[in-house]
Structure 1
């Protein structure tokens, strides 16, 4: 009776072995310590320089300015979006349903057999 209710437990075993799935290597503490020491060295090295405050450290990031083409693209997208909203907003739900129904009435029936020839 217990054989009737047997089910396999565990994960699904696929053909091909372990080739497909590989776990990522975990970062060790040594790597983190090396990074921290490298950052501290660059900070201390930049402070002991000639003392010009106008130079920016490599840790500060500048925001990328958009190009003219990107700005034009965004403006075009915004105008298209506005036109689409205006088009949808002009009709009420009742008008849209009526228009859709008239469209469906004009469609040919897909299951009708078209008449071909004189007979």
Structure 2
């Protein structure tokens, strides 16, 4: 064996059989919640029951949310500002945007102009 030979393949951990398999999400949770709602004496269609089961599930997920109230409020304000910015841009035509940009460029000082200093 030369010093450049190597064993091919992926690395394996000792004591494990095969790789890690990801769990697949199943719809059993919603069905269980729907059955629980039916058992509680709910009158309505099956779709209503499924909707209620999903809202219950969302409320449970709300408990496990990782963001604080301040972070949520910050994100909401950011979304609102972004929608305002987009609506402002969308309301202008291309011609108006070009005119505004030209006005902005006229107001800028030229970088290659030598400022006058002193008398004369």
Larger Rg: 1
Instruction: Report which of the two has the higher share of helix.
Output: 2
